[in-house]
Amino acid sequence: MACIANIRHFMPRNSASACSPTSQTSGHTAVVGLQWGDEGKGKIVDVLTARHDVIVRYNGGANAGHTVVAEGQKYALHLIPSGILYPEKTCVIGNGTVVDPEKVIDEMEKLRARGIRVDGTNLKISDRAHVVMPWHKEQDAALEEYLSSVTAGQRGSLAIGTTRRGIGPAYSDKVRRSTAIRMRDLLDPEYLRERLRVICKLRSAELEALGVKAQPLDPDAVTDRYAAIGMQLAPHITDTVFALHDAIAEGKSLLFEGANAALLDIDHGTYPYVTSSNCSALGIPAGTGVPGCHIHRVLGIMKAYSTRVGGGPFPTELLDETGDRIRERGREYGTTTGRPRRCGWLDLVAVRYSTMLCGATGVACTLFDVLAGFEELKVCVAYRRPDGSMTDRFIPDARGLEGIEPVYETLPGWPESSTPAANRNALPANARAYLERVEAYLGVPIEMVGIGPDRAQTLVREPVGCG
């Protein structure tokens, strides 16, 4: 048994990081997507970074694409938290993520080339985060190719429409354990070589079974390549769980940045058309080691309409000119893959479900400017099942959503304005009425309204230290 002295040694520097009333009031915030991704989380994280100290990614990998527009410059972030543009803040890639180390190095170099500070002090990567290896991307693509060729009746192709960034296969290995590599393993070449001997043998056979014709994987070559990557990333790789608890104990405030979104959550989304992590707020404790009791503000990010990339059910999808109009006005093309996003009306049934699931205390309604100029707008307030019965409860299952018809409420539109509103009260009356209807349905306040992509184009109920 460990003696008490040893146990103390492993405790965070100050025991105030326990969930005491004091720590609960220290201002830790979570930002999570309430739809199927691309709600503008990156922009809102950037805005909120001004009044937080540590910005933490807890899930996903390079499947995320978060856009920040600041002072006329556009940044697309995939693995590095959107707080990185503030040089004095600390960014953390938590243990719940899957890290493609070559991608993260590429992202770091691109940011540095634009004058953004990225070093071992302001970017920390969990030593327990799992590594996306090259074969994960090959497996992802090969499985998608195979599934694209298989159709199941009216349901069409069985492909998920993944980003092909190796996310599913990397998380599968995490759960399988014996074939996984973690960031800390990259710092220990002999241990890495030992593991890769087994993994390369098994993986070569699996890739061949999936129809990927390649040379058998050479464990020594892979070890050399990834040990070199490990040396490059060594200044960043650390035990982020203790680092976060130390930060809490020092009175610093944390901002958790969700990637992907609640309706893509592996347990609670439209399974199987989901991603492979808990991307709702429920993923934060496991993905960072910070218990949920530390988070007292959960800001759900909701587009003023709906979009989805990839396959899967989308009850309010518009396969017509209105959908095209939303796509063009909102520039709805993927940040990661460039794919056109599927567009549709706001689905309040779905968003009320994800608000509940994430414990959202407030909502940021983004891309609100995109809705200006429509004569009328629709919001989905209930679902009609194929047997004619109605429900206002979301059905988090692709099969369960088959044949669901949206029941709409129609709201009057508002004209495009040449002068942007300075605050919510300055919006046209019908625009305010739209926001009020959404608040009434969701039962939580809209704390921010996005009226353009720039960080300054954000109407905020309370000042957050930006324009």
Catalytically active residues are 38, 66
CA dist 277 and 45 (Å) reads 20
| By CB under 6 A, residue 275 contacts ligand IMO | yes
Q: How far apart are CA 40 and CA 453, in angstroms?
A: 8
Write the DSSP symbol of residue 452: S
CA 390 to CA 383: how far, in whole Å? 6
Residue with tokens 């629709």: 378
Are 88 and 77 in contact, with CB atoms under 8 Å apart? no
Q: Which residue is nearest to ligand IMO (CB)?
A: 310
Question: Which residues in the 291-320 window bind ligand IMO by CB under 6 A?
Answer: 309-310
Q: Is 390 helix (H, G, I), strand (E, B) or coil?
A: strand
Nearer to ligand IMO, 259 or 395 (CB): 259
155 by DSSP, 3-state: which?
helix
Residue 135: C-alpha distances to residues 59, 64, 141, 203, 388 (Å)? 20, 19, 10, 8, 47
Do residues 128 and 182 lie in contact, with contact meaning Cβ atoms separated by under 8 Å?
A: yes
Q: According to CB under 6 A, which one of 41, 128, 174, 236 is a site residue for ligand GDP? A: 41
Q: Specify the amino acid at residue 68.
A: V
Q: Helices 189-209 and 134-148 sit at what angle, rounded to 10 degrees? A: 20
Of 196, 176, 178, the residue nearest 186 (C-alpha): 196
Q: Contacting ligand GDP (CB under 6 A), which of 318, 448, 453, 459? A: 453
What does DSSP say about strands 90-93 and 123-126: parallel, antiparallel, or unpaired?
parallel
| Largest CA-CA distance found in the chain, in angstroms, rounded | 71
What is the C-alpha to C-alpha distance for residues 426 and 184, in angstroms, rounded to an integer? 52
Among 148, 335, 361, 430, binds Mg ion (CB under 5 A): 335
* 350 contacts ligand IMO (rule: CB under 6 A): no
165 binds, among ligand IMO, ligand GDP, Mg ion, none (CB under 5 to 8 A by kind): ligand IMO
In terms of CB distance, is 65 or 289 closer to Mg ion?
65
Cα separations in angstroms, 129 against 61, 100, 267, 277: 10, 10, 20, 13
d(CA 246, CA 264): 31
Q: Is 30 in the site for ligand GDP (CB under 6 A)?
A: no
Picked from ligand IMO, ligand GDP, Mg ion, none, the partner binding residue 451 (CB below 5 to 8 A depending on kind) is ligand GDP
Contact 295, 289 (CB under 8 A): no
| Cβ contact 66:74 at 8 Å | no
Q: Which does 264 bind (CB under 5 to 8 A by kind): ligand GDP, ligand IMO, Mg ion, none?
A: ligand IMO
Q: Does 367 bind ligand GDP (CB under 6 A)?
A: yes
Q: Does 38 bind Mg ion (CB under 5 A)?
A: yes
366 binds, among Mg ion, ligand GDP, ligand IMO, none (CB under 5 to 8 A by kind): ligand GDP
Query: Is residue 289 at the binding interface for Mg ion, with CB under 5 A as the rule?
Result: no
Contact 401, 263 (CB under 8 A): no
Give least dist CB 37 to ligand IMO, A. 2
| Smallest separation (angstroms) from ligand IMO to the CB of 167 | 4
Interaction of residue 310 with ligand GDP, rule CB under 6 A: no
Our finding on whether 136 is near ligand IMO (CB under 6 A) is no
Q: Does residue 38 belong to the site contacting ligand IMO (CB under 6 A)?
A: yes
Q: Is 261 near ligand IMO (CB under 6 A)?
A: yes
The distance of closest approach from Cβ of residue 58 to ligand IMO in the complex, given in angstroms and rounded to an integer, is: 12
167 binds ligand IMO (CB under 6 A): yes
Which secondary structure element, helix H or strand E, spans residue 175, and what is its range?
A: helix 167-176
Q: What's the closest the beta carbon of residue 39 comes to ligand IMO, in angstroms?
A: 7
Q: Does 332 bind Mg ion (CB under 5 A)?
A: no
Applying CB under 6 A, does 264 fall inside the site for ligand IMO? yes
Binding mask 8-37 for ligand IMO (x = CB under 6 A): -------------------------x--xx
Q: Is 289 in the site for ligand IMO (CB under 6 A)?
A: no
What is the rounded CA–CA span in Å between residue 135 and residue 105? 18
DSSP per-residue letters across 7-68: HHHTS-SSGGGSS-HHHHTS--EEEEESSSS-SSHHHHHHHHHTT-SEEEE-SB-TT--EEE
We find the least distance from the C-beta atom of residue 60 to ligand IMO, in angstroms, to be 6
Q: Does 107 bind Mg ion (CB under 5 A)?
A: no
- Binding residues for Mg ion, rule CB under 5 A, total 3
Kindly list the residues in this chain that would bind ligand GDP in the complex (CB under 6 A).
33, 37-43, 65-67, 69, 331, 335, 366-367, 369-370, 450-453
In the complex, the residues that contact ligand IMO under the rule CB under 6 A are 33, 36-38, 63-66, 160-163, 165, 167-168, 259-261, 264, 275-276, 309-310, 335
Which residues of the shown chain bind Mg ion in the complex (CB under 5 A)? 38, 65, 335
